[in-house]
């Protein structure tokens, strides 16, 4: 072949290459939009309501009358190493909250959640969840990424990688954290990071103060921005993950400039809707806004929305070491009405069937008191409760059990891997087949464990 090219031949080849580049982009976008599932999906999106700091199962959803009968006695078989503050460990401590039965199954619910109590027939409870660590950092890593150490992709990242995008105009994975200045959850952005997956799969955290997305207004005309992105796209750096991730983020940001303002325009909702969520109430208005926004986002094609209740551990979150009564009354008061309204709203709009709602924290709390003037409860990885609703969940299911004190899971135990396997299953993914090769090994969210909790699947 003659190594010398005429100008006409050079232009012809360059034009063909540009055409193929455009085709590749279209095919890539199609893959992102329709990545496919391993089996028919029961849900297409998920809203994860995260009780940051670890809510007490025995004060919320796991009723234990034996605690009241044996208040002040020793906990039989208690391993003090379970506690985080061992020196402050006390005796059995009855719940300061009244429980009552609700729904057709007579489900016991704490007085903290009168709104959610209306929905128990739509919810599936897993009472026997357990984790590995009694420390917030490792526990948050595990509940988010499957393993109690840093560097692994979060559930939202795995879902985006496995399922692709439902829309090109908004991020597929959005995270909302505390908006009252109480800080970010421990591990901060690593909780929603992509780990070794390409960076384009990491969660997009909305700003906790001011506009949800900063710098959303374009600095220059759209056609100029488009030309700049096309120029970047023409650079031959295919196969460079960091470049591809950065370019994908630029593309998403460009499309968000027109789509996001409308999605975030909560003020366009009716007054009745805003009141139902509690936007007019000081104690819960901040979380109400996030729950309403979560509905608007999944309605517009966002795949994963994670909403954190509470900030940086201790009394700025559900981490009730001191005064469990005051702590849990405060945070339940912030969340109950908005969470109940979210379920109402999704159901009314026909979105609950396609949207999985998950609620849990990183671990539970001990049935013994953490001693002090106002007793609290210490960390407990041996037992916590998670509930699910919508998206293929068996409404009214009650799975697993803890012992008579709520200290540890004893029946049909659910590990974090089991919880993740179940979520993936409901969204159409087989946790054993969803893998990514990194450093010569195939990794998955559930590592080498996990099973789908079939009794909670419709």
In a domain, 28, yes or no: no
Show Cβ contacts of residue 276 under 8 Å, excluding neighbours closer than 6 positions.
341, 344, 345
d(CA 385, CA 5): 70
Count of alpha carbons within 13 angstroms of residue 337, beta-carbon side: 21
In a domain, 295, yes or no: yes
| Other CB atoms within 10 Å distance of the CB of residue 74 | 11
- With vertex at residue 147, the alpha carbon angle to CA 143 and CA 150, rounded to the nearest 5 degrees, is 100
In a domain, 27, yes or no: no
In a domain, 4, yes or no: no
Query: For residue 150, what is the domain's CATH number?
Result: 3.40.720.10
In a domain, 141, yes or no: yes
In a domain, 358, yes or no: yes
In a domain, 146, yes or no: yes
Cβ atoms of 110 and 57 within 8 Å: the answer is no
Question: How would you write the pLDDT of the chain (458 residues) with one tens digit per residue?
Answer: 444 545 444 444 444 443 333 333 333 443 444 467 999 999 999 999 999 999 999 999 999 999 999 999 999 999 999 999 999 999 999 999 999 999 999 999 999 999 999 999 999 999 999 999 999 999 999 999 999 999 999 999 999 999 999 998 999 999 999 999 999 999 999 999 999 999 989 999 998 776 676 666 666 666 776 677 677 667 765 567 676 666 666 666 656 666 788 999 999 999 999 999 999 999 999 999 999 999 999 999 999 999 999 999 888 999 999 999 999 999 999 999 999 999 999 999 999 999 999 999 999 999 999 999 999 999 999 999 999 999 999 999 999 999 999 999 999 999 999 999 999 999 999 999 999 999 999 999 999 999 999 999 99
* DSSP 8-state assignment for residue 121: G
Query: How far does CA 41 lie from the centroid of its chain?
Result: 18
Cβ atoms of 89 and 83 within 8 Å: the answer is yes
pLDDT tens, position by position, 81-126: 999 999 999 999 999 999 999 999 999 999 999 999 999 999 999 9
d(CA 128, CA 364): 11
Domain limits at 98?
43-212+264-456
* CB environment 246-284: b (16+ within 10 A), e (fewer): ebbeebbbbebbebbeebbebeebeeebbebbbbeeeeb
The total number of structural domains that make up the chain: 1
């Amino acid at each position: 072949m003659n190594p010398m090219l005429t100008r006409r031949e050079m232009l012809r080849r360059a034009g063909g290459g540009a055409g193929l580049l455009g085709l590749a982009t279209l095919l890539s976008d199609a893959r992102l939009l329709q990545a496919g599932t391993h089996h028919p999906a029961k849900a297409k999106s998920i809203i994860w309501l995260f009780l940051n700091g670890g809510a007490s199962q025995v004060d919320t959803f796991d009723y234990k009358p034996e605690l009241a009968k044996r208040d002040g006695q020793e906990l039989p078989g208690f391993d003090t190493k379970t506690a985080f503050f061992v020196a402050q460990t006390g005796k059995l401590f009855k719940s300061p909250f009244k429980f009552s039965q609700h729904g057709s199954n007579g489900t016991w619910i704490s007085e903290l959640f009168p709104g959610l109590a209306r929905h128990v027939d739509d919810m599936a409870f897993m009472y026997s969840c357990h984790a590995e660590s009694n420390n917030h950092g490792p526990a948050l890593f595990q509940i988010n990424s499957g393993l109690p150490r840093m560097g692994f992709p979060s559930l939202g990242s795995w879902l985006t990688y496995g399922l692709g995008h439902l829309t090109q105009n908004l991020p597929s994975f959005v995270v909302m954290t505390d908006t009252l200045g109480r800080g970010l959850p421990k591990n901060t952005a690593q909780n929603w990071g992509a780990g070794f997956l390409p960076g384009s799969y990491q969660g997009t955290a909305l700003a906790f103060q001011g506009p949800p997305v900063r710098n959303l207004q374009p600095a220059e005309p759209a056609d100029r921005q488009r030309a700049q992105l096309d120029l970047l796209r023409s650079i031959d750096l295919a196969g460079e993950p960091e470049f591809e991730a950065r370019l994908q983020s630029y593309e998403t940001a460009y499309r968000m400039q027109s789509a996001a303002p409308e999605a975030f325009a909560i003020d366009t909702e009716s007054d009745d809707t805003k009141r139902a969520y509690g936007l007019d109430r000081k104690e819960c208005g901040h979380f109400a806004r996030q729950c309403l926004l979560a509905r608007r986002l999944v309605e517009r094609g966002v795949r994963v929305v994670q909403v954190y209740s509470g900030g940086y551990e201790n009394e700025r979150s559900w981490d009730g070491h001191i005064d469990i009564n005051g702590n849990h009354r405060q945070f339940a008061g912030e969340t109950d009405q908005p969470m109940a309204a979210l379920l109402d709203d999704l159901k009314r709009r026909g979105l609950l069937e396609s949207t999985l709602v998950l609620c849990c924290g990183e671990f539970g709390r001990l049935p013994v008191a953490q001693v002090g003037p106002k007793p609290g409860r210490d960390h407990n990885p041996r037992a916590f409760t998670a509930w699910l609703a919508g998206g293929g969940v068996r409404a009214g299911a009650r799975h697993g059990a803890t012992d008579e004190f709520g200290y540890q899971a004893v029946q049909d135990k659910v590990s974090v891997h089991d919880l993740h396997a179940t979520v993936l299953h409901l969204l159409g993914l087989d946790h054993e087949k969803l893998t990514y090769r990194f450093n010569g090994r195939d990794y998955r969210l559930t590592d080498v464990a996990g099973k789908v909790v079939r009794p909670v699947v419709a």
